[in-house]
Amino acid sequence: MRNLLCLPCRHPLSTVVVLAALGLPAFFGGRYLWADHHLRLAERALDGLDLAGAEAHLRRCLRIWPADGRVHVLLAQIARRTQNYEEAEHELEICAQIGVRTEQAELERLLLRVQRGDLGGTDYDLYQRSEPDSPESMLILEALAQGYLSTFHIHGAMRCLERMLERQPDNTRALFLKGQVMENTNRFGEAMNAYRRILALDPENFEARLSLGDVLLLKNQPQDALEHFEYLAQRQPDDPTVRWGLACSRNRAGLHDQARPLLDALVRAYPDKPRILAERGKLALDDGQLAEAEAWLRESVRLSPHDSQVMYALYLCLERRGSKSEAQHYYQRMEELDRDQKRLLDMIKEAVVKKRAPELRCQIGRLSLRLGMTSQGLRWLEGALLEDPQYLPALEALADYYEKSGQPEVAARYRRRATDLKPGG
């Protein structure tokens, strides 16, 4: 190389050709090494459960390798694990378009379906496949746990999480999902323990700190919640969930002057969110601004007519304004909702200790839908069908719901399945 560069410049064009011949491979080789370096960093970040960091490295890889199957499969995995299911489907579609048919890509397609609750009889085989202690087995257990959780099959979810934590006691993904399971079964003390364990291992874990703050608010510990939301607000001040948690914790801790501007900004940004309107109404009620409180609380009740706590706040407001008769109406409605919600909670406690109870799951689903808990109700009904795919009341309940919600094609699928089960169907 040194000799070539020292040659007399008798043939300038030849020199350019030689330099190009030498430089282009080095250029492209350097780009390959740069992309490969970021792929290795992404894999290392995934091993450390840093999904955001892994995604950032993979996006850099795409600048050099836009059609690399390994990169798109890993991006699909990250999107699935963060419950960004549309993005996961998009990445897997890219894999199909560029002809990626690897075992890892096929596994991701299966895990995406399973994690969304469509277990389809594959859960047993997948659980058996998770027995070897390998990275694949942990991905399978994590997806299965989320799939079971999405259909409220608590036994299955906990079996998967316990296996994960036996192998990796400090696995923050497993600990977070355990916290979610505990929340779904109203075991809030155990949920908080799981989230605190995560923060001891990873103080910057956004999901765990946000969830811990939410549970502390739910358990009426606003001062403790405030500590976590202040911490989050310093790092992600524009995140709407952080702003909402900060406003609520300040309001409920009695820091009304600090909560008011936050809530006012949230109301302007999200005028159709009943929880935000209700919180602003409660603050106005505490301030003695009864007309403003009534307006916000009425709108919240209109948008969310099954929230007994908001109903109670509106009852108090109307009492103070002298509207005794109307106040009593809302008080009675609040008592009805409280009775239904207590019944629902009792049924859920019964269902989570039973390994198989399609009838009870169907009843929970129907009551949840009646109480406006749409997502939860649908998940319970699908859980009933997971236990018994031919359970007629669950099929009919799902067909009724989708017909009323203007989704006739979905309704028709459940209606056909129900009709086929009836005598002469």
Structural domain includes residue 221: yes
Structural contact between residues 315 and 327, judged by C-beta atoms closer than 8 angstroms: yes
The pLDDT tens digits of the residues spanning 258-268 come to 999 999 999 99
Question: Do 375 and 422 have their domain in common?
Answer: yes
Query: Is the predicted pLDDT of residue 254 greater than 80, yes or no?
Result: yes
Distance CA 117, CA 151 (A): 6
Query: Is the predicted pLDDT of residue 307 greater than 60, yes or no?
Result: yes
Structural contact between residues 365 and 152, judged by C-beta atoms closer than 8 angstroms: no
State how far the alpha carbon of 315 is from the alpha carbons of 112, 159, 239, 321, 328, in Å.
45, 45, 33, 10, 7
Question: Do 347 and 424 have their domain in common?
Answer: yes
Distance CA 158, CA 174 (A): 10
Question: Do 220 and 282 have their domain in common?
Answer: no
Q: For 201-213, what is the mean pLDDT?
A: 96
The pLDDT tens digits of the residues spanning 164-189 come to 999 999 999 999 999 999 998 889 99
CATH of the domain at 225: 1.25.40
Query: Is the predicted pLDDT of residue 8 greater than 60, yes or no?
Result: no
pLDDT at 33: 86
pLDDT at 316: 97
Question: Do 254 and 277 have their domain in common?
Answer: no
Q: How many domains does the chain have?
A: 3
Closest CA to 247 of 204, 210, 280, 273: 280
Domain containing residue 295: 271-330
pLDDT at 326: 96
Structural domain includes residue 368: yes
Question: Do 348 and 400 have their domain in common?
Answer: yes
Distance CA 386, CA 396 (A): 15
Query: Is the predicted pLDDT of residue 6 greater than 80, yes or no?
Result: no
Query: Is the predicted pLDDT of residue 5 greater than 60, yes or no?
Result: no
Where does the pLDDT of residue 223 fall: very low under 50, low under 70, confident under 90, or very high at 90 and above? very high
Structural contact between residues 108 and 77, judged by C-beta atoms closer than 8 angstroms: yes
Prediction pTM value: 0.82
The pLDDT tens digits of the residues spanning 101-148 come to 888 899 999 999 999 888 777 888 888 888 877 778 999 999 999 999
Max mean pLDDT range (78-82, 103-107, 156-160, 221-225): 221-225
| 227 Cα distance to chain centroid | 23
Q: For 363-373, what is the mean pLDDT?
A: 94
Q: For 53-74, what is the mean pLDDT?
A: 91
Question: Do 275 and 295 have their domain in common?
Answer: yes
Question: Do 284 and 308 have their domain in common?
Answer: yes
Cα R_g (the chain), whole angstroms: 28
Question: Do 393 and 318 have their domain in common?
Answer: no
Structural domain includes residue 2: no
Both tokens of 379, joined, read 């998940």
Question: Do 257 and 214 have their domain in common?
Answer: yes
Where does the pLDDT of residue 420 fall: very low under 50, low under 70, confident under 90, or very high at 90 and above? confident
- What is the chain's mean pLDDT, rounded? 89
CATH of the domain at 397: 1.25.40.10
Angle of helix 290-303 relative to helix 308-320, nearest 10 degrees? 150
Q: Which of 287, 305, 330 is the last residue of a domain?
A: 330
Structural contact between residues 308 and 338, judged by C-beta atoms closer than 8 angstroms: yes
Question: Do 323 and 350 have their domain in common?
Answer: no
Query: Is the predicted pLDDT of residue 21 greater than 80, yes or no?
Result: no
Structural domain includes residue 150: no
Question: Do 279 and 320 have their domain in common?
Answer: yes
Q: For 396-416, what is the mean pLDDT?
A: 94
Structural domain includes residue 15: no
Both tokens of 393, joined, read 């009341």
Query: Is the predicted pLDDT of residue 1 greater than 80, yes or no?
Result: no
Question: Do 424 and 375 have their domain in common?
Answer: yes
Structural domain includes residue 275: yes
